[in-house]
Amino acid sequence: MTADVAVLGAGMHPWGKWGRGFVEYGVQAARAALADAEVDWPEIGSIVGADTVRGGYPGYVAGATFAKALGWQGAKVTSVYAACASGAQAIDTARAQILAGMADVVLVVGADAAPKGFFRPVGGDRQDDPDWLRFRVLGATNPAYFGLYARRRMAVHGDTLEDFAQVKVKNAAVGALNPNARYRKRVTAEEVAASAVVCDPLRLLDICATSDGGAALVLSSMEFARRRGVADPVRIRAVSTVTPRYPHTVLDLPDIATDSAAGAEPAGEPFRASIARAAYEEAGIGPEDLSLAEVYDLSTALELQWYEDLGLCGGGEAAKLLREGATSPGGRIPVNMSGGLASFGEAVPAQAIAQVCEVTRQLRGQAGDRQVVGARVALTANQGLFGHGSAVVAVR
* Interface positions with another protein (CB under 8 A): 117-118, 120-121, 125, 127, 132-141, 144, 147-152, 155-156, 196-202, 246-247, 249, 251, 255-264
Nearer to another protein, 184 or 245 (CB): 245
Nearer to another protein, 194 or 197 (CB): 197
Nearer to another protein, 104 or 255 (CB): 255
Nearer to another protein, 120 or 185 (CB): 120
Distance of closest approach, residue 307 Cβ to another protein, in angstroms? 19
Nearer to another protein, 203 or 237 (CB): 203
Cα distance between residue 169 and residue 19, in whole Å: 28
62 by Cβ neighbours in 10 Å (0-12 / 13-18 / 19+) ranks as: buried
> Residue 294: which of 254, 342, 250 has the closest Cα?
342
Distance of closest approach, residue 11 Cβ to another protein, in angstroms? 33
What secondary structure does DSSP assign to 176-228, as a single string? TT-TT-S--S---HHHHHHSPEEETTEEGGGB--B-EEEEEEEEE-HHHHHHT
> Residue 145: which of 299, 319, 266, 295 has the closest Cα?
299
> Residue 352: which of 180, 243, 214 has the closest Cα?
214
> Residue 89: which of 215, 240, 206, 232 has the closest Cα?
240
Nearer to another protein, 284 or 315 (CB): 315
Distance of closest approach, residue 125 Cβ to another protein, in angstroms? 8
Nearer to another protein, 76 or 245 (CB): 245
Nearer to another protein, 102 or 197 (CB): 197
Spatial contact of 338 and 15, defined as CB atoms under 8 Å apart: no
> Residue 262: which of 245, 242, 247, 252 has the closest Cα?
247
Query: Phi and psi dihedrals of 150, rounded to 5?
Result: -65, -45
> Residue 3: which of 89, 96, 107, 108 has the closest Cα?
96
What lies within 8 Å, CB to CB, of 279 at 6+ separation is 238, 239, 240, 379, 381, 391, 392, 393
Nearer to another protein, 126 or 227 (CB): 126
Residue environment code for 277-306, b if the CB has 16+ CB neighbours within 10 A, otherwise e: bbbbeebebebeebbbbbbbbbbbbbbbbb
Distance of closest approach, residue 273 Cβ to another protein, in angstroms? 18
Given CA atoms 119, 122, 125, 130 in this order, what sign does their dihedral have?
negative
Q: How many CB atoms lie within 10 A of CB 5?
A: 28
